[in-house]
A and B are shown apart, each in its own frame.
Chain A
Amino acid sequence: MCLAIPGQIVELAPGGHLATVEVSKVRRTINIDLLEPPPAPGEWVLIHVGFAMSRISDREAAEQLRLLAMLGEDAQAMAELDGYEFGPSSQ
């Protein structure tokens, strides 16, 4: 439920609200309205149910990925990320 997935911001979508993130070579759209100011490309964020929840450092992102693997939740995290269907066209 409280699964938090680290993702690196690739680019911000025009019109605000959304950004493309990349995790383990998977790219998906997430919502960034919970972060002020908006994250910049290259920054890492923690993602929960399609929304960036907080900014994290590169080191914290690597630790979070490792923690997900140790908890046996890495596949579930990637399935969640891969499962987000919303995007610029549906907004």
Chain B
Amino acid sequence: MKYVDEFRDPRLIRQASDEIRRLVDPSRPYRIMEVCGGHTHAIYRFALADLLPPNIELVHGPGCPVCVLPMGRIDEGLSLVDEHEAIFTTFGDVMRVPGRHGSPLERQARGAEIRMVYSPLDALKLARERPDRHVVFFAIGFETTAPSTALTLKRARELDVTNFTVFSNHVTIVPAIRAILDSPDMRLDAFIGPGHVSTVIGARPYAFIARDYRKPVVISGFEPLDLLQSIVMILRQLRDGRAEVENQYGRTVPWDGNLPALRALADVFELRPHFEWRGLGFISQSALKLRAEYASWDAEARFAMAGVSVADPKAAQCGEVLKGVLKPHQCKLFGRECTPEMPVGALMVSSEGACAAYFSYVHRRMAAAEQAT
């Protein structure tokens, strides 16, 4: 209960927590997956598990873009620097993701021209300022981020910027959820649906989870009270034997999504036949590639990239943690070889990664408690 006092309204937090206790059947376990990495971060930061009965387990989902990206994609992206003297641009989260020959940040320290950008539009700006060089934008993210890449590509095409390409690692959340639902060791009872992805895709794409798999889905905001209220809504559905898509995040999530964003996605991208995810393997139609009309701006098409598969370091158990088979601290490297400062696996890199969130909040808190005794 350490963090309760700093919540905006501790009384409402306690009410929601009490309501959860009233709703649970103590004789059965509840396994609820929070799909989004932002939720994972908030759950650890606010120690929400402490406010739940012990038979409710929150399972961390695949919604952390750098966590699910296989190492081969980083290596391929960086190969453009070595083989084509490209300037490599990407978001901050990707900079520290380990590749076989180092992370982008380490490569930058060794002299490669690698730039962190906050927006894909800044990568395009750089390309226009440096017509003598090729600039590649290493794009990553779910449907929250992909429309921004799409609009940047439309702009590049309008302006006919010929020294700019995108290496797309954009992925889509629904096929990943379906893969989890279809996996033989599936033991989930319900889903906390992602907030920001849903502002783009809407609530409608989750309907099959309730209809075909009979699992409740509640799209949630990011505040502690939002997450607890979402769990209350899930428990009510389970108690009543209902399976529905409900929206706790309010008017920012329209049923049909953000139409201009969906249009931009459809104009620029198409689904890949399959794409590799760390921990989940190859998933059909789960990622976005550039349409043929954009082949001149597609790094994979323009530089005839082969698509290599690279295994993770053997000792790291990122895949098992991603699948929920292991908790972060059960990985052999956790907190020793692999820390947020020196990550071996991608789940330790992003604040949305289960390992980084667990390390920053649970691990440090336990270490401080041990020192105090």
Using a CB–CB distance below 8 Å, which chain A residues touch chain B? 1-2, 4, 31, 33-36, 46, 48-51, 53-54, 56, 60, 63, 66-67, 70-73, 80-81, 83-86, 90-91
| Chain B contacts for A70, CB-based, 8 A | 6, 45-46
The reply to whether B121 and A1 contact each other, CB–CB distance below 8 Å, is: no
Subset of 21 A-B contacts with CB under 8 Å: A1-B64, A1-B66, A2-B38, A2-B196, A2-B197, A33-B264, A34-B147, A34-B258, A48-B148, A49-B141, A51-B148, A53-B199, A53-B200, A53-B258, A60-B252, A71-B45, A84-B121, A85-B117, A85-B125, A86-B122, A90-B125
Query: Closest 3 CB pairs between A and B?
Result: A50-B119, A83-B118, A86-B121
Given contacts A1-B93, A86-B119, contact A31 B45 (CB under 8 A): no
Q: Is B145 an interface residue (CB 8 A)?
A: yes
**Once the chains bind, are A48 and B121 in contact (CB under 8 Å)?**
no
Task: Check A34 against B144 for contact (C-beta < 8 Å).
Answer: no
Whether A2 pairs with B155 at a CB distance below 8 angstroms is no
Q: Is the CB of B91 within 8 A of A1?
A: yes
Docked Cα-Cα span, A81 to B6, in Å, equals 27
Q: Taking the complex as formed, is B223 at the interface, i.e. its CB lies under 8 A from any CB of chain A?
A: yes
**Nearest CB of B to A34, in Å:** 5
Given contacts A2-B37, A71-B45, contact A86 B260 (CB under 8 A): no
**Hey, which chain B residues are within 8 Å of A1, CB to CB?**
37-38, 64-66, 91, 93, 140-141, 145, 350, 352
- The residue that A49 contacts in the complex, of B119, B197, B223, with Cβ under 8 A, is B119
Distance of B251 from chain A, by nearest CB (Å): 9
Residues on B with beta carbons closer than 8 Å to the beta carbon of A66: 8
CA distance A73 to B352 in the complex (A): 12
User: Closest approach, in angstroms, between the C-beta of A56 and any C-beta of chain B?
Assistant: 7
Q: Are B145 and A49 in contact (CB under 8 A)?
A: yes
Main secondary structure of the interface of B (DSSP, over half): helix
Give chain B's interface residue range (CB within 8 Å of chain A). 35 or more
Q: Which of B38, B125, B141 meets A86, CB within 8 Å?
A: B125
Tell whether, in the assembled complex, residue A53 and residue B196 are in contact, meaning their CB atoms are under 8 Å apart: yes
Q: Report chain A residues within 8 Å CB of B140.
A: 1
Q: Is the CB of A80 within 8 A of B258?
A: no
B120 proximal to A (CB < 8 A): yes
**14 further contact pairs, Cβ within 8 A, besides A2-B142, A70-B46, A86-B122:** A1-B38, A34-B147, A48-B145, A49-B91, A49-B148, A50-B119, A50-B120, A50-B122, A51-B147, A60-B252, A67-B222, A84-B118, A85-B122, A86-B119
B residues in contact with A53, CB < 8 Å: 144, 196, 199-200, 258, 261
Q: Give the distance in Å from the alpha carbon of A36 to the alpha carbon of B91 in the complex.
A: 27
CA of A63 to CA of B196, assembled, Å = 15
Q: Which residues of B contact A72 (CB under 8 A)?
A: 45
Check if B151 sits within 8 Å of A33, measured CB to CB: yes
Q: Are B37 and A31 in contact (CB under 8 A)?
A: no
Of all chain A residues, the one with the shortest Cβ separation from B223 is: A67
**Bound Cα distance A66, B224 (Å):** 12
Shortest Cβ distance from A18 into B: residue: B121
Q: Are B260 and A35 in contact (CB under 8 A)?
A: yes
Q: CB-CB < 8 A to A50: which residues of B? A: 118-122, 148
Interface: B259 (CB within 8 A)? yes
